[in-house]
Amino acid sequence: MSATASDELTTLLAVIVLVFAPLLLWWFTLRVRKGVRYAFRRIRAFDALRGVFARAAENGKTVHLALGSSGIADAHTAIVSSGLAMLRHLADQGASLGTSPTVTVADPALLIVAQDTLRRAYEKRGRSASYSSTDVRLIAPDPAAYAIGAQDVVDDEAIAANAMIGHFGQEYLLVGEAGAQRDLPQMVGSDDLDAQPFLVATTDRALLGEEAFAAGAYLTERPEHIASLRLQDILRLAVVVVILGGVLIKTLLG
């Protein structure tokens, strides 16, 4: 296949994806809203999060959630969105028990969004008077400074579990190791490949690779999140088929 033909095929495939992906997303969302359930494999970190607040509340403690060192509108928006989905889940748990997660952020804009997410959880439970904006803490925009500040929070005896999902580089080890030394349950995920070995070293509930982007589908169970995850599975399968088909054509036709 010539270079020109290859470029044309690539362009055609890109157009097909751009046209049909939104339609598939709409279709899957509609089906979920009608009650269709899609089966996804179990992920240990998300399973642990479902009851983490109840276990913490039994001892009069709370959960720390670190949303990473990035902002709300930069190259790491996708992982921040997953972190906010996790916050919605933890906030709903906490508000039902009359407590709140302790949230740390590094970006002023993310601070506002996280505070609003927490406030909405209290309003949903009819406990607006119990909401405190100081439960979300702005640490510092510098990754190392943010990690040191989050480490201090994890070292607090009032913290019974540590959840971290966001953009973490090698500075993650400061916070993750603090939780490991206290033997805290830790549910962690990052979009930085350099941090992946540290995640695995500090907990057996690490979200690896694309797992970190599935928080919305697994925790909030919103139709649009479930539909998005289903669409990703379909597109991934399509890519595999295209690659195998290309290899087969290249082999047969030279």
* CA 203 – CA 190 distance, rounded (Å): 13
- Cα 235 to chain centroid, rounded: 20
For residue 125, what is the DSSP state? T
Going by pLDDT thresholds of 50, 70 and 90, the confidence category of residue 8 is low
Q: What is the mean pLDDT of residues 150-169?
A: 93
Q: What is the mean pLDDT of residues 120-132?
A: 88
* CA 68 – CA 203 distance, rounded (Å): 17
How far CA 53 is from CA of 64, 93, 114, 176, in Å, comes to: 10, 6, 18, 19
How far CA 121 is from CA of 11, 164, 204, 216, in Å, comes to: 44, 20, 29, 16
pTM value is 0.82
Which domains, ranges and CATH numbers included, belong to the chain?
3-37+225-253 (no CATH), 44-221 (3.40.50)
For the record, the structure tokens of 92 come out as: 């709903």
